Amino acid sequence: MKRADLNHDEKLSYEEVQGLLTMINIDLNEEYARNLFKKCDRSCDGRLDHGEIEVFCRELLRRPELDAVFSRYSANGCVLSTVDLKDFLKDQGEDSSLIHAQSLILTYELNEWAQKNGYMTPNGFTMYMLSKENNVFDPDHARVYQDMTRSLAHYFISSSHNTYLTSDQVTGYSSTEAYIRALNQGCRCVELDCWDGDKGEPVIYHGHTLTSKVPFTEVIETIAEYAFKASPYPLILSLENHCSVEQQAVMARHLRSILGDKLLTKPLNEQQLQSLPSPE
C-alpha cells in the first residue's frame, strides 16, 4: 500500500487504487472498479483509508457461489460453528472430526473474536475454500513426478512457435522479451527464424513480412541467461535457417562463444547412438 500511496497521506485515491491493482496484477473492468471504490468509500471523501482498503480487498476476493454454500450450512446465517463446519466437511467426504474443524478455524479465520470462540466468518470460509487444501490439482503434481529417464523422443515437449514475436506475424514486434517470457514459463523448445542481416550479422524475424528484426546475438545472449532458470531440462533451439553460408558460420561462432559448455555439440555417450538422451 505504501508504494501506491503517492502523496503519502495514508489514503488511496481512485487513481492510486488503480496503481495498486496494477502492482498486484489485477485487471478490473473500469465501471466495476469505480462502483466498488464508491461502495467502499464510506467516508465519501474520494479516498480509501486502511479500513476501507481492507473492505475493498475483501470484496475483490468475494465469491457469490461460496456465499451460497456458506449460507446453506450456517445455522444462524452469520457464522459457521465447528458443528456447522463439521457437517460441511462430512458432506464433502473430508475429515469431519470436530478437531479438524477447529484446526481449520484456527488456520484460516482472521477475525480474532470468531477464532477465539470457534466460529468461521464468511471471509474465513472464503480463505479456506480458496486455499491449497481445496486445489483441484493433485499437489504431488506440483513437482515433476513422471519418469524422466527415457529418451527425449518419448515425451511431449512444451514448444513455442515464432517465439521472437510479441504480436502478429505480419507487422508484429520481434523482441528478446518474448524469449524471456517463454523460458520463464518452462518452454523447452524455442524457434529462431534466422536471416542474413546488415554488416554480416544474422537477424531473427518473420521473413518476407513487415515484422521488426532482432539481432541473432541478442537472442542467444538472452537464451544463455534464461535457459535453465525455470527448468533444468534440455532446451531445444529450433533454427529455421535462411542465412547464407557466410552468415551461417557467424551463427555457429556466436552459438559456441555465447553458450559455451551449455551447447551440446557431440553425443553425450558415444556408445549409445541408437536413441536420443533422456532429459536427465
Active site residue 161: yes
Distance CA 97, CA 88 (A): 11
Grouping H, G, I as helix, E, B as strand and the rest as coil, residue 195 is: strand
**Cell 470460509 maps to which residue?**
125
Cross-strand partners of 12: 48
Q: Which of 50, 141, 154, 206 is catalytic?
A: 206
Active site residue 206: yes
Grid coordinates of 27: 485487471
Question: Contact at 8 Å (CB) between 12 and 20?
Answer: yes
Question: Contact at 8 Å (CB) between 223 and 194?
Answer: no
Count other Cβ atoms within 10 Å, centred on residue 191: 19
> Could you tell me the CA-to-CA distances from 259 to 154, 196, 225, 252, 276 in Å, in that order?
26, 21, 9, 11, 21
Grid coordinates of 128: 479456506
Q: Which of 50, 141, 154, 161 is catalytic?
A: 161
Grid coordinates of 279: 532429459
Grid coordinates of 112: 480474532
Catalytic residues: 161, 206
